């Protein structure tokens, strides 16, 4: 499997994207995942944000990454697609992300639904809207030869049967799953169940642990968390993550597993990396 990490880990440290590349090189990580802004902001312009923008030149970004021997595992364009805003704002955003990804040599773009039930729509109406959105998105994904991943993160994607429907909105190998171990757990489910059911559709994985305190407060009430403040391996989701990795390995998955946790300027995510590498070794899973 390929160890990656989400640049979200360094938002609180106000790092630039290139500082994340430096951290990757220092820790012998060759894959990175970042968010993409459709526009720009003062934080991006002043270098206080580790994400990229569509105003950045993807070819220049690609050349910079080559200097550090790092490639993209995925670009995160997970604007909620389940409500009316998903059609008007989310779809154009994802299409722009795919164009950027193609030039930046990124093989995947992440999408998702909203955290809560969409206002003014019943579930079937929202699913129908999302189906229209994904039909347009996947048509472009096939043209650009990029995987569109559906992240487990919200009201519909944490419902295992609704997620199954979503992954079958379009009959295309380009519509895949981004399995998130933390969101599926905090919503009251278990990533093991998602791995068992969808192993063959997984293209990318978010590895996220959950602290006992957060689980006691939020599990079963929230559908996703923006960031985990537990090092991977230190929380109550660690055994589920281990079993999920085993299931995926047995199914033949050899793609990226992207660490998601508060980096604390490197300290917390470095502890997470140590646990991930040790766990892969114990499970007999080679790191690419």
CATH 1.20.950.20: does it fit domain 2-283?
Answer: no
For the whole model, what pTM was predicted?
Answer: 0.96
Q: What confidence score (pLDDT) does residue 43 get?
A: 94
Confidence band for 7, pLDDT divided at 50, 70 and 90: very high
Q: 112: closest CA among 164, 157, 142?
A: 157
4: pLDDT strictly greater than 90: yes
* Token pair for 44: 């991006």
C-alpha to C-alpha distance for 44 and 50, rounded to whole angstroms: 8
Percent of the chain with pLDDT over 90: 96
CA distance readout (Å), 184 to 83, 209, 210: 21, 11, 11
Least Cα distance to 29 among 261, 259, 248 occurs for 259
The pLDDT value recorded for residue 266 is 85
Span 187-210, pLDDT tens digits: 999 999 999 999 999 999 999 999
55 vs 34: CA distance, rounded Å: 15
pLDDT in tens, 106-144: 999 999 999 999 999 999 999 999 999 999 999 999 999
Does residue 195 contact residue 86 with C-beta atoms inside 8 Å?
A: no
Q: Which two tokens stand for residue 267?
A: 């300290």
Residue 30 has pLDDT above 90, yes or no: yes
The string of pLDDT tens digits covering residues 142-155 is: 999 999 999 999 99
What's the mean pLDDT in 252-258?
98
Say yes or no to pLDDT of 227 above 90.
no
Transcribe the chain into DSSP letters. Answer: -EEEEBGGGGTTTT--HHHHHHHHHHTT--EEEEEEESS--HHHHHT--SSEETTS-HHHHHHHHHHTT-EEEEEEEEEE-SSHHIIIIIHHHHHHHHHHHHHTT--EEEEE--SSPPTT--HHHHHHHHHHHHHHHHHHHHHHT-EEEEES-STTTTSHHHHHHHTTSS--TTEEEEEEHHHHHHTT--HHHHHHHHGGGEEEEEE----HHHHHHHTTT-S--S---S-TTTSTTHHHHHHHHHHHHHHT--SEEEE-S--GGGHHHHHHHHHHHHHHHHHT----
């Amino acid at each position: 499997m390929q160890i990656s990490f989400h640049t979200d880990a360094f938002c609180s440290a106000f790092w630039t994207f290139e500082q994340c590349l430096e951290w990757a090189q220092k820790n012998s990580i060759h894959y990175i995942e970042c968010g993409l802004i459709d526009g720009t902001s003062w934080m991006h312009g002043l270098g206080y944000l580790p994400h990229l923008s569509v105003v950045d030149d993807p070819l220049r970004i690609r050349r910079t990454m080559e200097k550090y021997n790092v490639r993209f595992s995925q670009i995160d364009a997970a604007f909620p697609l389940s409500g009316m805003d998903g059609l008007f704002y989310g779809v154009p955003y994802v299409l722009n992300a795919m164009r950027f990804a193609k030039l930046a040599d990124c093989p995947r773009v992440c999408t998702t639904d909203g955290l809560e039930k969409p206002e003014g729509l019943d579930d079937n109406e929202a699913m129908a809207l999302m189906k229209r959105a994904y039909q347009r998105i996947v048509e472009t994904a096939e043209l650009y030869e990029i995987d569109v991943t559906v992240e487990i993160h919200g009201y519909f994607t944490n419902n295992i049967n609704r997620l199954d429907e979503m992954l079958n909105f379009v009959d295309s190998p380009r519509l895949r799953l981004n399995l998130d171990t933390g969101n599926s757990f905090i919503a009251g489910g278990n990533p093991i169940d998602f791995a068992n059911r969808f192993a063959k559709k997984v293209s990318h994985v978010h590895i996220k642990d959950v602290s006992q305190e957060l689980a006691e407060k939020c599990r079963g009430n929230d559908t996703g968390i923006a960031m985990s403040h537990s090092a991977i391996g230190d929380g109550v989701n660690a055994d589920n993550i281990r079993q999920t990795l085993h299931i995926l390995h047995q199914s033949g998955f050899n793609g990226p597993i992207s660490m998601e946790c508060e980096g604390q300027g490197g300290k917390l995510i470095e502890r997470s990396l140590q646990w991930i590498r040790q766990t892969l070794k114990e499970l007999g899973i080679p790191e690419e």
